Structure formats: C-alpha cells, structure tokens
Structure 1
Amino acid sequence: MLSATDRAVFKETMAGLAGVGYEPLVVRKQVVAGMNYEFFCNARVVYPGTDWYPATVLIHKPLQGNAVIKKISKIAAH
C-alpha cells in the first residue's frame, strides 16, 4: 500500500507532467543511494471519454535533491 510519504513523492515528482493523468495504486521500493520507487498506476490521456490503462512510473529520489522520473511505461494487454 502507499504511505503518505510515497504519495507525496509521487505527487511532487509528477506535478509538472501534462497530457496524461496518473493515479498510483501500489508501490515497490528499493533502497539505493536514496530510494527507487516503482508505482503501478491507472493512467489515461487527459481528454474527455478516454479509457484508463495500466502503467508503471519509475522515480528515483536521491539522498539530497529532488526526485526525478526515470521511466514511464504503458503495460501492454496480453
């Protein structure tokens, strides 16, 4: 489950991103020189009538400084 800290990192890091809305559902974390976050999200293009799709957002939060988006991937349906 997402903690308040997880949600804050996600919200702060994604604040400048436009065009697609992401709703984080769960997170996997890895302690490194800081923290790696892999968020599993529902996503959709910010346009009326568009459908949600699954995606992952990889974020790195260094020990000092701001978190950065490392990769965003749409999860393909099988």
Structure 2
Amino acid sequence: MLNQAPVQEPTLVGGWSPFQPLTAQDKEVFSEALNGFVGVSYTPNSVSTQIVAGTNYRYKCTASMPPSEVIWEAVVEIFAPLNGKPYITGIVRI
C-alpha cells in the first residue's frame, strides 16, 4: 500500500478561503483600511479571502472600546480593489 499525501480541497473560484493566520500583506491591508478609524479597537486574529475584481477580506478580530475592559469578537470585512486603497465594507459582531 502506498502512502499518499492528503488531498486538499481546491478553493472554488469566487469562493471564500478557510480562515488562516495573517500574512504580512493581510496585516498591511487591515492597517491601511482602518487608518483613521476611531472608537472601537480591532485586533485581527485570522483572515479569509475571496478573489473577485480585487480581494474581499474577512478578518476575525478581538474588539474592545477603550478604556472599557469589555471584549467581544467581530468580523471586519474589507475590500481591496485592484487599483486604490482598501476600505471597510462591513463590521459584524459575533
């Protein structure tokens, strides 16, 4: 019997990737999109992407509103167009 490598399911075109650790590029997109955002503080923990005419990002984050010690989970949705600055498209508390 041959040892076979596990088969990975391909990501469907237009489908979302599984959540995974952030790369340097993911962190840069998040930082650029939230530059100047005030109020709630979001710390990204993992990311899922969808390739379209640009890239959609879903960041699972820990959220807080300083100086309060209350912490919750949220998904910050960002769109990075092919040309131009990434921007927030939605924030969902989970």
Q: TM-score, normalised by structure 2?
A: 0.76
Matches within 5 A, 1:21-32: 21-32=41-52
Matches within 5 A, 1:1-78: 1-47=21-67, 49-75=68-94
Which deviations, in whole Å up to 9, do the C-alpha atoms of 1:8-56 show, x marking residues without a partner? 0001111111011000000000000010000000001122x32110000
Aligned residue pair count = 74
Which residue number in structure 1 is paired with residue 17 of structure 2? Answer: none
Runs of 4+ off more than 6 Å: none
How big is the alpha-carbon RMSD for the aligned residues of Structure 1 and Structure 2? 0.8
Percentage identity across paired residues of the two chains = 39
- Distance in structure 2 (CA, Å) of the matches to 1:46 and 1:19: 8
SS in 1 for 2:30: helix
Contiguous gaps of at least 5 residues in structure 1: none
Q: Which amino acid aligns with 1:67?
A: P
- Distance in structure 1 (CA, Å) of the matches to 2:76 and 2:66: 17
Contiguous gaps of at least 5 residues in structure 2: 1-20
Higher strand share: 1
